[in-house]
Amino acid sequence: MNTEKLALYSKIKNTSKVLYLFKWIALLIGIIGVLVSSIVDIVINRKLTWSLIVDFAVAFIFILVVTPILCKKNKLIITSLVSSILVFPLLLCIEHIVNKNFIANPRPWFKTYAFPITLIWLGVIWSLILIKKWMSLNFWHTLSFLFILVMVGSTFTNVIARKVSVFELYKGSFKWIDSMVYFLCAIACFIIGKLDFEKFKTPD
pLDDT surpasses 70 at 5: no
What is the per-residue DSSP string for 62-116? HHHHHHHHH-SS-HHHHHHHHHHHHHHHHHHHHHHHHHHHT-SS---HIIIIIHH
pLDDT-based confidence at residue 197 (cuts at 50, 70, 90): low
pLDDT-based confidence at residue 108 (cuts at 50, 70, 90): confident
Q: What is the CA radius of gyration of the chain?
A: 23
pLDDT surpasses 80 at 8: no
Residue-level pLDDT at 74: 85
Sign of CA dihedral 5, 6, 7, 13: positive
Per residue in 33-77, pLDDT (tens digit) is: 899 999 999 999 999 999 999 999 999 998 998 888 888 788 888
From start to end of the chain, where are the E strands? none
Distance, first Cα to last Cα, the chain: 41
